[in-house]
Amino acid sequence: MGQKVELACIIDDDKIYVNLVKKIIEIKKLSNNLLIFKNGMEALDHFKLILENATEDRLPDIIFLDINMPVMDGWEFLNEFIKIKNNFEKKITLYVVSSSIDPRDLERAKSINLVTDYLIKPIELKKFEKIFDRNGNAAA
Amino acid sequence: MLNDLQLNSILEDFDIAYWKINLLNKEVSWSEHFDTLVGNPIFSESHFEYFLKEILHQDYRYDFRLYFDKLTEENEAFSIELKLKLNNGKYRWFECRNLKNKENNKETAVLLFVNIHQNKRDQYTIEENFFYYHETAQMTNTGGWYIDTQNKNIYWDNVTKKIIGCPLDYQPPYNEHLRFYAPEEHQEVTSAFDKCEKYGIPFKVELKMRNLYNKDFWVRATGKPVYNEDQDIIGIRGVFQDINDQKINELNLQNSLDLVATQNSRLFNFAHIVSHHLRSHSSNLCLIVELLKDAKTDKDKIELIPNVADISENLDLAINELNEIVNKQTVLGKERRIVSFEKALSGVMASTSSLINRENAKIVAEFHALKEISYIPEYLESILLNLITNAIKYKHPGRKPVIYIQTYLKNETPFLEVSDNGLGIDLDQYGDKMFGMYKTFHENLDSRGIGLFITKNQVETLGGTISVTSTVDVGTTFKIKF
């Protein structure tokens, strides 16, 4: 195992999924801390607040972003996030995570530079470990 | 007077050959030119017999002999068109008639053979062309017309008159000819005729005409300028082809195609949405199974059980929702009937009375401009139900919900409008997603994101459209064009 991720962030409205991922992260000790938002708007508000306060200690190393969410979906969040992302010094890895197997979603995600990869739910435990591990190594 | 030699040469120039007949002994002698025409035969019998057997086409032998006998015996004049075999072996048309006997000459008669082959052929060609034109015009419903722009007259041929549905002796009025076109075509027709008359620009258009009984039908029309010797335009001539049946078929086909295309894309979206919606639950199940496998202690395993219960409940809910959508979308066995808006609304209000009472919602309906509509009753109720519950669900927290429902006719098209004084929605941001499946815009526990999706589908299935206007904090209006 590589270095642990300090802060991971999940933006997803599926409570059960969030609970399970939380469990995995706890059990496997993949990240020290976890931020959870149930839609894009809540997450965006958080990032804007960080920008205003100019403290990056609550900025995640890795984001798992769902596509289909109420209020503000994943695409809309990406549109807004791109605008403010460059104001942060920290390198943030962003994964789009969705149960959609629509190739149009996959294409769209891959066309956005900000998105490291498109992960189709369910994500296997091993894959989770790998993602966090690689992230840890890359950050080190 | 001309002598025989000169006469011969003139006759030859005109391709006219002749016979001299001795009326006393009925002997026939041929002019030189006749000899050259039919070749120089070697006679074993009389000229006459040889002519009948070898030169004259068999169809005319009987008649010719009859005429010949009458001429020689009774001096009766005759004229006959017949075919002669020339020295090249081909038959050619000739007119054969006797030269008038001025001096009552009892000794000789003269028979002239005038080559009329070209005339005859032209005549045949004209007859043939007329036949083809006539048959083509009948079969394709194509009529000809001519506009004499100098004398301000319009001429229609019989097929055109048949297309227009007027009697054969009908004289089309020059100044009111636009009356024979559907009003929406007047501008284009005027412009096409003007351009042709003024600048000689031909036209070929598809347009809607209006027959004598004010029924509209589709034609393909072509027009070309007619010039006089000074190259001035003196008229326009062209054809109308009645293409109504084809055009109607074409339009129907296009409509069906559009309908199939939209339904296809709707199904495609539906399939993806369904797969996504169901997959989110199944993927959670997979995740739990992995966690169960990975769990070290029984306590860890037991802790996961409530999640399984949640997933199965959600999965059940999702399948029921999809079932509901499919059921509501099926048109099978449902037929349009005359539905009263008043009745449909009271049905909906009865079934939602608890919600309406709880929220103290006020519903105002104005149906006097349009009281009823031919529609599938279940659809109309479902549409009203969705729009009303939607309006109440997204009411403004600061005021009691008021819903104003109105029906009316505009350009003979029925409309239904449902307006509320609720939260409103930022259409710039969400407009294109309003009617999508599982799209919810407010964090509301009972929003499921399928109501408007179903409503839109029901409206579109019956050939209508739904649109929305909204102002945040003021309210929303849904407008249905049936």
Longest dimension (CA), chain A: 39
Out of A20, A70, A99, whose CB is closest to B291? A20
Tracing tokens 């279940």 back to the chain, one arrives at B378
Across the beta sheet with B108-115, the strand order is: B27-30, B16-22, B108-115, B91-98, B79-85
Asked if B169 reaches chain A (Cβ–Cβ under 8 Å), the answer is no
Least CB–CB distance from A16: residue in B284, B440, B442: B284
B275 touches chain A (CB under 8 A): yes
Q: Kindly tell me if the per-residue pLDDT of B260 is higher than 50.
A: yes
Q: Looking at the predicted structure, is the pLDDT value of residue B75 above 60?
A: yes
Instruction: Answer yes or no: is pLDDT of B229 > 80.
Output: yes
Higher pLDDT: B223 or B464? It is B223
Position B386, amino acid: N
* Confidence class for position A14, pLDDT limits 50, 70, 90: confident
CB pairs under 8 A between A and B: 72
Nearest to B440 among A20, A70, A100 (CB): A70
Strand-pair partners of B222: B204, B239
pLDDT for B33: 85
CA distance B351 to B49: 111
- pLDDT digits over B296-318, tens only? 888 888 888 888 888 888 888 88
pLDDT of amino acid A138: 46
Contact A68 B286 (CB under 8 A): no
Contacts of B277 (CB under 8 A, 6+ apart): B318, B322, B438
**Positive/negative CA dihedral, B62, B68, B73, B77:** positive
Q: Are B288 and B303 in contact (CB under 8 A)?
A: no
pLDDT band (50, 70, 90) for residue B38: confident
Read off the pLDDT band of B20 (50, 70, 90).
Answer: confident
State how beta strands B465-471 and B413-420 pair: unpaired
**Where is pLDDT greater, at B428 or B230?**
B230
Chain B positions touching A17 (Cβ under 8 A) are 280, 283-284, 287
pLDDT of residue B8: 77
Beta bridge partners of A9: A35, A63
User: Does residue A30 sit in helix, strand or coil?
Assistant: coil
Q: Cβ contacts of residue B146 below 8 Å, gap of 6+?
A: B154, B155, B226, B235, B236, B237
CB contact under 8 A, B284 and A125: no
Give Cβ neighbours of residue B30 (< 8 Å, ≥ 6 apart). B17, B18, B19, B47
Asked if A71's CB is within 8 angstroms of B283's CB, the reply is no
Count structural domains, chain A: 1
Among A10, A18, A19, A20, which would you mutate to test the B interface (most chain B Cβ atoms within 10 Å of its Cβ)?
Answer: A20
User: Which residue numbers of A have CB closer than 8 Å to B's CBs?
Assistant: 14-17, 19-21, 23-24, 27, 39, 68, 70-71, 76, 98-102, 121-125
pLDDT in tens, B183-210: 999 999 999 999 999 999 999 999 999 9
pLDDT of residue B374: 87
A120 to chain B, minimum CA–CA distance in Å? 9
For the cut 50, the answer to whether the pLDDT of residue A52 exceeds it is yes
Q: How far apart are CA A86 and CA B286, in angstroms?
A: 37
User: Contact at 8 Å (CB) between B435 and B453?
Assistant: yes
Which of the four pLDDT bands, split at 50, 70 and 90, describes residue B65?
A: very high
Percent of chain A with pLDDT over 90: 20
* Nearest chain A residue to B269, by CA: A102
CB spacing of B276 vs A17 below 8 angstroms: no
CB B391 within 8 Å of CB B405: no
Average pLDDT score over residue span A80-86: 88
Residue A114 has what DSSP assignment?
T
Angle formed by the axes of helices B298-329 and A15-27, to 10°? 160
Category of B474 on φ-ψ map: left (φ > 0), alpha (ψ -120 to 50) or beta? alpha
Question: What's the pLDDT at B57?
Answer: 93
Mean pLDDT taken over chain B:
85
Output the 3-class SS for B196-237.
HHHHCCCEEEEEEEECCCCCEEEEEEEEEEEECCCCCEEEEE
Tell me, what's the pLDDT at B321? 75
| SS3 at position A116 | strand
Look at residue B438 in the predicted model and tell me its pLDDT. Answer: 60
Q: Domain residues for A98?
A: 5-139
pLDDT at B398 over 80: yes
Element (H, E) at A97: strand A93-98
Report the residue count for chain A.
Answer: 140
B268, B286, B287, B472: best to mutate for the A interface, most A CBs within 10 A: B287
ipTM over 0.90: no
pLDDT digits (tens, 9 = 90+) for B337-347: 888 999 888 88
Across the range B11-39, mean pLDDT stands at 84
Residue at token pair 């020295």: B87
Interval B114-154: pLDDT, tens: 989 888 889 888 999 989 988 988 888 899 999 999 999 99
Query: Looking at beta carbons, which residues of chain B come within 8 Å of A98?
Result: 276
Chain A residue with minimum CA distance to B303:
A23
A122:B440 CB<8 A: no
Residue A132 has pLDDT above 50, yes or no: yes
* Backbone phi and psi for residue B141, each to the nearest 5 degrees, phi listed first: 55, 45
pLDDT tens, A15-47? 888 988 888 888 888 888 889 998 899 999 998
pLDDT band at B333 (very low <50, low <70, confident <90, very high): low
Contact (CB<8Å) A20/B287: yes
On chain B, the residues whose CB falls within 8 A of the CB of A39 are 443
HSE toward the beta carbon, residue B373, CA cutoff 13 A: 27
The answer to whether B220 and B241 have CB atoms below 8 angstroms apart is yes
B324 or B129, higher pLDDT: B129
CA of A105, closest CA in chain B: separation in Å?
A: 11
A121 to B279: CB separation less than 8 angstroms, yes or no: yes
Distance from CA of B303 to the nearest CA of A (A): 10
* pLDDT at res. B196: 94
List of chain B residues whose C-beta atoms are within 8 Å of the C-beta of residue A124: 290
Query: Which residues on A lie below 8 Å from B291 (Cβ)?
Result: 20, 23-24, 27, 125
Look up the CATH number of the domain holding residue A32: 3.40.50.2300
Q: Dump pLDDT digits (tens) for B423-470.
A: 888 877 776 677 766 666 555 545 556 778 778 888 887 778 888 888
Spatial contact of B277 and B322, defined as CB atoms under 8 Å apart: yes
Give the per-residue pLDDT at A140. Answer: 36
Evaluate the omega torsion of the peptide bond into residue B183 and state whether it is cis, within 30 degrees of 0.
no
pLDDT of residue B102: 61
Mean pLDDT on B251-269: 80
What pLDDT score does B350 carry? 85
